[in-house]
Amino acid sequence: MKLFKFSLIIFIILLGILWAIPTEYSLFVSEKNSKNKKNLSEINKKQSESYFQKNILCLGVPGKGHPGEKLTDTIILAVVNLPKNITLISIPRDLLVEISYLNQKKMTKINQLYQIGGIKLIKNKVQEITGLETDNYITADLTAVKEIIDSLDGLNIYVPYDINDYYFPGPNYSYTTFSIKKGWRYLNGELALKYIRTRHIGEGDFDRMKRQQQVIYAIKQKIAGLNPILDLPKYIKIFYSLKTHINTDLKLSEIIYLVKETRKINSDQIRHIVIDKRSGFLTSEKITLNGYPASVLLPKQGINDYKKIKDFILQKINQD
């Protein structure tokens, strides 16, 4: 029975790598915005009736041996209000932000903050953008995904269209080509990792998030089908992968509680907020950043102006 619970804990952690994982729910808002304070008061009142409220910042990094090993390609803030709902807020890696670091102000993409100043720097910026304070965090390098999928003997995944990404990251900051045909495909860890990382095809990050969700579901199904006795070696491999490649400040007791409660959550209780060009709050520009040409996203109202984004998030969270 303990091993069965452990398999579910693994799934929750994997959920944190690519989509989100829950944490304590507390909200931050400017003292100058009375309307927001009213909304926050109503939200907190509703939350007092629930059993578990947490925010957690989930970061996915390439890890050692990959270009930009500490760049956060996945940035998700999960807002959990159990047993009512879970809200997943995705922030694009190319969002241009201003930071103060070593007593200097500089412009950079948000996916570089963890590399520059660690978890504190990116937590503070995500709080500034969303208006939501972060209670805990989880960071995971993508090697864990590869090793876990290999431990499960691969995944069967339906590829909805032909993929030909000619700008997939290669060794030594080069590019390589990743191709896969439409249809049901068997993916080992390496192929699955490429499948969820490719982004220069279709609708970019939007489609990539769909692929991540697809792989998460397949992993969940595989883990749920493991036999606690016959598949013990697989459990051991998965355990060591998680121990090596995942870092979090969540307590084990919190993870176990989340495992128990999130099993009761239906798909219609999970809400998604994606802050991108589609949401109407961001615009794209070509700029020179640190001496190199770069494509970035920034708020339509101007750099550092996140008011409309915060209002939108509060509105969504406040919906029944």
Give pLDDT tens digits for 95-118.
Answer: 999 998 778 889 999 999 999 999
Q: What local confidence, expressed as pLDDT, does residue 280 receive? A: 86
Average pLDDT for residues 202-225, to the nearest whole number? Answer: 76
What is the predicted pLDDT for the residue at 125? 96
For residue 86, pLDDT over 60 is answered with yes
- The token pair at 249 is 């400040």
From residue 42, give the alpha-carbon distance in Å to each of 27, 210, 319: 11, 33, 11
Of the ranges 142-151, 243-252, 308-317, the best mean pLDDT one: 308-317
CA 258, 261, 263, 269 dihedral sign is: negative
Residues in a beta bridge with 182 = none
Q: Any idea which of 48-52, 165-169, 211-215 has the lowest mean pLDDT?
A: 48-52
pLDDT at 17 over 50: no
State the pLDDT at residue 51. 65
Residue in 244, 57, 8 with CA at minimum distance from that of residue 142: 244
pLDDT value, residue 32: 34
Q: Cβ neighbours of residue 291 under 8 Å, at least 6 residues apart?
A: none
DSSP letter assigned to residue 277: G
Query: What value does the mean pLDDT take over residues 225-240?
Result: 78
The whole-angstrom separation of Cα 63 and Cα 72 is 10
Q: Rounded distance, CA 53 to CA 86, Å?
A: 10
CA distance 28 to 26: 7
